[in-house]
Structure 1
Amino acid sequence: MLSLSIECVVCADAFEDADCLHAPCLHYFCRQCLMNMAEAANRDESLLPLQCCHKQLPTETFLQFLPESVRAAFYAKSAEASTPPPQRLYCPNKKCSIFLGKSSGEGSLHDIACPECSTAVCSGCKTRAHPREDCKENELAIEARALATAKGWQTCPGCKAIVELKDGCYHMTCRCQTQFCYGCGAKWKTCGC
Structure 2
Amino acid sequence: MIETEVDIAKKQVVKQESTTPLEVKVCEEDKNSKIVKTCDVCTEEIETVYNLECEHKYCQTCLQRLFTDPTYVFPIRCCNKEISLDFVINILTPEETQPIIQRAGEASHRLFCPTPGCERPIHVTAKSEISACPDCRKDICVKCRSHAHPNKKCWKGKNEKRFKKITEKRGWRQCTVCGVFIERRGGCKNIHCPCGNTFCYHCGKQICKCIIGRSWARKIKQTFWKVVGF
TM-score interval w.r.t. the shorter chain? 0.3 to 0.5
Q: Which has the higher contact order (CA 8 A, sep 6+)?
A: 2
Q: If the length of structure 1 is used for normalisation, what is the TM-score?
A: 0.45
Higher strand share: 1
Higher helix share: 2
Q: Which has the larger radius of gyration?
A: 2
Q: If the length of structure 2 is used for normalisation, what is the TM-score?
A: 0.39
